Structure formats: structure tokens, C-alpha cells
Chain A
């Protein structure tokens, strides 16, 4: 693999994210009109706002992929940390009148503590039970927000943020470009962090946990600590996403606290490709775009003219997205990223390769790294149930 990193495709692969970044950063200067894709020209506030939302959810989807795709932890409570970000920062800014910097810092810490608390309980169980505990805790958060304790969270109405503590550059329709860059900066931050940690030693342990947790234990490592680490990190990144989302929308909505929100993240990651960085980001962008545009499409003439049996289901974006999701799970394993890898591999006539070691090799690689330690002498233990 090392020699490939230096050939032309390898260099292209490394440069691609940079090129995409430059294009995205320059987008607010473009007056390009893409009829059909967006309603206004590219740098109109409406289009930029939609693009910024896409970027934020690209980042949040990537933080979820860190758990699901890279470590194999199916959390159904990721919404809790996103909600903690948006509601936490909102309350500090609006109720206590704090400055933006202090609010962001304290909210981030609160998000970390929350993830630490939930993770330390939830990770005591594995598999589906873990999913259930995370789902239940997130549901608790959702109930609190909807109950509107002492009129703090605004219940179903949501909560608008006070404008005074926020810098002028991030307020109003005219500054949508600044909010867009903020969203882009968030995505870049998440991408950089995820790239760094998944390449680190901890990242390789996470991949090994995804492959076979019991064998990681046999190697003398404690999966619990590594899982807690990734859980807290993903929670932290989601909290930051919540804060950016708050600044982008100028308020918090209870929709982001629900289980449906987490399920949305899951759909994004699976559509784009679990375990792939750019796949998860693309999934988040695509889902957000479709969710927003399909609503508009439903009322368009093209759909309204269809016979009722087609028109009625197509008027619901979630029906289309849900069906698309099922089709991807059934027929396109690995999502968009997996599809692209397979097409590329067919052309180059070599075996597919995902970010990190190929499936089935993560544990072996980890064992090589642990070296002559505890695990190496034990051969390759198999799980007794053969699963």
C-alpha cells in the first residue's frame, strides 16, 4: 500500500479534500445559477443557508460515523449531545446573557460531561442493549425539553436566541455568508479531528473493536475505555455541531432532541457509507439537501400532475428517504462510498480499500502493533459461537 500512496492516484486522493475545501470556501463569491438544484443564485442568502445546513449535518453525520462506522457502536442517542449544544448555548446566551465565547466553552464542557456520564453507564452493556440505553437517555432529554421546565426551553415552540451577545457578523440575512463559513469551519474541524484520531493508535483499537471485541480483550486491552473515549469525542463534536446549528438558525427547535433526529443521522451515514469519512459527510449533505428540496418538489407541478397513487407517497420526503435507505441497505452495502470504491476497484482491477485496514484485518494489525505482548503468543483465538 505504501508505494501506491506515492503514485498519481494516491496524490490525487490526498489533494481532493483540499480542492473541495477551496471550492466550498469560495462559493459565497459565486453568482452561478443552478436552476433545478437551487432556487436562487449560489450566493443568495436562501441557497447559502441551505448549503450551510448541509455542511453542519455533514459534520454531525461524521461525528456519528465515528461511533457507528469506525467503532461499530450503534447509538440511538446522538441527538442528545447535539441538543445539549443548541439548547445549552442558547440558555447561557439568552437567559444568563453570557458572551459567546464563555457560552461555547461551558456548553462544550457540559456536552463532554454528559457524554461521559451516559457513556459510562451505557457502555456497560453491549450490542442492542447499548442502543436501547442511549435511546432511553436521549428520550429523557427530549422529554425535559418538551416539558418546558419553568418556561426555560420553550417546549414545542422552540427557543429563539438573544441577539445581543452574538457578534454582529453572525446576525441577519446579509451575513449568511459568514454563517456559511462558520459551518464550513465546523465541518473542516470535524473532518480533521476524525482523520487524526482514526489514524492514531486509539483509532486502530476502535476498528479492531468493530471487528471483534473479544479478541481485543484477549490482546490485553480494555475495550471499555476505548469505547468511552470515542463516545465522548463523538458527543463533543456533536455538541459543537449543535452550537453552530444554533448560530445558523438563530434558535433551537425540539425536533433536534428526538429519536427521529438520531435516526436521520443513521440514515445519512448508511446512505453515504459507514466507516468512510467522505461518505458520511456526503451522506449528511445529501440527506439535508433532499429533505429540504423534496418538500418543495412535493408541491411542484410535476408531482401534482401525477396520479394519486404516486403523488401521495411522493409528497412525503421521509417516505422517499426511508425507501431509499432500505434500498441502499439491501442492494448497495457500503453506501455511496462503497459503490465508488467498488467501481474504482473494478477499473483498477484491485481489491477495494476503505479508510483504514481492509475488513477482517483490523485485529491482526492491532496484534502486530501490540507486538510480543500478551496477545501475540495466543495464536488466533476464535469466538466459540463462530459468529
Chain B
């Protein structure tokens, strides 16, 4: 029972990380038809931004509110980089989806290489605030607190995004744009502003995932974002490519399957079963779990 609880909560923590990365990906894909390969780089930037701020930014630190400030700084840098990339590199290639994907591929190489050039390829120990290092006892299992931090953050983000899409005017434009972009443009609404916005939102979530992933794993390295990105892609496809709730469900499914299979079968089997899961879902329902943005 203890193991079961621990595995479930750790799986959910992993799912939270996947969701944070995948939700931005699916928003961007849904609205712009661009699969953003640079998303892993946003994650790396967020993680290194937080790490740098914790050590160098005045007022920020490795614990308490100082650490919160460091995370805010990391997220802000990720958001800014994402918005600038959309404005400067993605927008000039408007409507040329393959080229847009290629640019993000080039960015994923260049940005990660840049981080590696500046801070080296070796993993850096990531600051872990005191409360994240402790454990909480649930049904006899000692669960590390960082898992709850991840899960709570993901749930907050999920609720916030759904509320944003449901209740604001910009959210309405995004939902309409996902459904029929041509029609929204024909109605005289400039969808491109929404493009920049979803890129910025996606960058913010990915950067947050980078900071939280740093706490979860205890260290950060330049290539981390890319390896997480592949699983996030799988989550997006299983979730139906452009649905937030579908992505959340897929993230939970993938996180739990991966944790349990890695524990009960053998290390690595979990990663493989996720790929198998993708094949099964695609064969059974080619459009994924949910077809449209909820």
C-alpha cells in the first residue's frame, strides 16, 4: 500500500510536469498548427534563469520568498524569450507551417547549445527550499513534498487556463481560432496577437516546468528540456493535439503508466510502455483522446 501511494503521487508529480510542458505545446499547435520544438529550450531557459537568479539576483535566494522571486524571474525570462521568438522568427513565416517547425528545430539546437556554452554541459545542483526537501506522511507513505508542489502548480495552471479560455475575450478568440482560424480572421480579428500570446503563455508554463523540474530532480542540465519534450509530445498526441483537458488526462495517464511500469517491470520499461500506449491510442482512435479544445 505504501509503495502504491508513493508511486501514484510520484506518477502524478511527473504528470504535472508533462502537463505544464504539453499544455503550452497543445495551445500553440491548436491555434497555429506549429509543433514547437523549441519548447524544451524554454524549459531549460526557465530552469537556468531560476538557478541564476537564486545565486545572483538581489532579493532572490535559495529559500522562502527569495526562491519564489527566483522562480518568478526564471518564468519571466522564459516568457520573454518565447514572445520574442514568436515576433521575430515565427511571424515572418506566417502560414508556412513546415518552415515554422524547422525554425523551432533550429532554435532547439542553438538555444540549448548556447546554455551549454555559457554554463557547461555538466549538471548543476538546483536549489531546493527547505519545505520541498521534507516529506509528508500519507497512508503510511512518506511522500516528498516537491511532488505536491508540482501537482498543485499543475492544477492551478489547468484551472487558470480553462477559466482564461472560458471567461475572457482573448480566450474566446483563441478557442474560436483553434476551431476555425480563417473564419476568425474573416471577422476582422487579428489572430496574430493571439499567436504571440499563446507562445508567451506556453513559454511561461515551460519555464515554470523547468524550475519545478529542477526542484524535483535536484539538478539541472542543458539537455534536460529536450528529453522531457519527447514525452510531452507523446502526451499532446494522445491528448488529441489541441485540447487542454485532453492533454491533462493524457498527462496523468502517461505519468502513471511510466511510474508503475518502471517500478514493477524494470527501469526503462515504463518509457517503452508510454510509446506503446501512443501506438495503441493512435490505432484505436487516430484523433487522440479528445478531438477539440474544451
Contact = CB atoms under 8 A, between A and B. Distances in A.
B291 interface: no
A102 interface: no
Interface string A114-132: 0000000100110011011
Contacts of A267: 105-106, 109
A322 B101 contact: no
A243 B89 CA distance: 39
Instruction: Tell me what chain A mostly uses at the interface: helix, strand, loop, or mixed.
Output: helix
Interface in B6-52: 29, 33, 35, 37
Contacts of A378: none
Interface string B202-239: 00000000000000000000000010001001101100
A354 interface: no
A5 interface: no
A329 B110 contact: no
A385 interface: yes
A318 B109 CA distance: 6
- Contact size class for A? 35 or more
Interface string A320-353: 0111011001100100000000000000000000
B4 interface: no
Contacts of A196: none
Contacts, number: 123
Contacts of B114: 313, 316, 319
Instruction: Tell me what chain B mostly uses at the interface: helix, strand, loop, or mixed.
Output: helix
Interface string A146-161: 1100000000000000
Interface string B109-137: 11111101110000000000000000000
A132 B106 contact: no
B253 interface: no
B102 interface: yes
A333 B98 CA distance: 12
A159 B182 CA distance: 53
B272 A143 contact: yes
A212 to B, nearest CB: 14
Interface stretch (A182-190, A199-207, A223-231, A258-266): A258-266
B286 interface: yes
A272 to B, nearest CB: 14
Contact of A316 (B33, B37, B117): B117
B160 interface: no
14 contacts: A74-B98, A132-B35, A137-B279, A143-B272, A144-B272, A263-B109, A266-B102, A266-B105, A316-B117, A317-B113, A318-B110, A322-B113, A325-B109, A326-B103
Interface of B: 29, 33, 35, 37, 89, 92-93, 98-99, 101-103, 105-114, 116-118, 182, 226, 230, 233-234, 236-237, 241, 267-268, 271-272, 274-276, 278-279, 282-283, 286
Interface of A: 74, 121, 124-125, 128-129, 131-133, 135-137, 139-140, 143-144, 146-147, 259-260, 263, 266-267, 270, 312-313, 315-319, 321-323, 325-326, 329-330, 333, 385-386
